[in-house]
Amino acid sequence: MAAFYAGFPETVPVRTVNRQCSSGLQAVADVAAAIKAGFYDIGIGAGLESMTVNPMAWEGSVNPKVKAFEQAQNCLLPMGVTSENVAHRFGVTRKEQDQAAVDSHRKAAAATAAGKFKDEIIPVATKIVDPKTGDEKPVTISVDDGIRPNTSVSELAKLKPVFKKDGTTTAGNSSQVSDGAGAVLLMKRSVAMRKGLPILGVFRTFAAVGVDPAIMGVGPAVAIPAAVKSAGLQLDDIDLFEINEAFASQFVYCRNKLGLDPEKINVNGGALAIGHPLGTTGARCVATLLHEMKRRGRDCRFGVISMCIGTGMGAAAVFERGDCADELCNVRKVESNNFLSKDVL
């Protein structure tokens, strides 16, 4: 129905994919893999989420045998509780989390003011309905409206923990409830050149890994090395990272665990400021990453996108800037990897 509404003819096939927080990136990876396999030459990997309309909580029942398996039971933990688990187990302080949130808002506000998001955002005409009077007001949304430029550590420190009485995860250092959609157009390089289309980036590799559901936020710390290694690269080869900030606790942990340069990560802010519409995030991160890589030019060849995934997974993908790809860019010997969730501890 959405495809018809968007103007696609009946001859275009569609399908849906669900990998929770990584659904948008999984869609992009699936299209890239199908093109590489020769199934078709052009595809769109897209994701959407309306968290204000669709309930995030599971309302159905589950097999009672779940209670007999701790890890299966942990798949049902509220994501905020898993954030608290990460903070507690790995010693991520409240101050570190609040500072990460402040940094995210500051960078996102600066990027918005500088017009950096204009090339990747399509304005959406919609309406706002007054809940009291029912009056409708037409509006056009062209910027992310969750960014709070004046956020400070002192202000965030006043917020109470949400998921645990003596915890550290608050509304201020968690990603917000958001609506959004994103789409990534992919095709064979030869087809893009024949059509005269600009090539923003090259999809190199993708990896999805499993981790302990109780600390699902550690996913990027396992997935990033797996994806980078399968691309024949090392972490030091990556010039830019987009790591989803589901919660500040897990973002800070993954950044520190991998020893990444903070100046390379979420340079235009992340989900703590922009938002994390679950199905959208993967596609949104691709747009943000590739446009920033284009701006940086020759100083930025490889970029990585990664996120943690509810129920205990992580995903990551490696991209190369489109105007510097060559036949020999992936020639390092790639050894098989066998990453397990325990490797992150």
Q: Is 285 in the active site?
A: no
CA distance to 103, 153, 306, per residue, from 99 (Å) = 6, 6, 21
CA 116 to chain centre: 18
Query: Among 105, 254, 276, 300, which one carries the catalytic annotation?
Result: 276
Q: Is 308 in the active site?
A: yes
Query: Among 21, 254, 285, 300, which one carries the catalytic annotation?
Result: 21
- Return the biggest CA–CA distance within the chain: 65
**The tokens 């769109």 sit on which residue?**
44
Nearest to 36 by CA among 183, 199, 203: 203
DSSP per residue over 54-121, as a string? Answer: S--S--S---GGGGG-HHHHHTTS-HHHHHHHHHHHHT--HHHHHHHHHHHHHHHHHHHHTTTTTTT-
DSSP per residue over 102-135, as a string? Answer: HHHHHHHHHHHHTTTTTTT---EEEEEE-TTT--
The DSSP secondary-structure symbol of 9 reads -
Query: Among 254, 285, 300, 308, which one carries the catalytic annotation?
Result: 308
Burial of 145 (0-12, 13-18, 19+ CB in 10 A): exposed
Structure tokens at 203: 């999809």
Show which residues are catalytic: 21, 276, 308
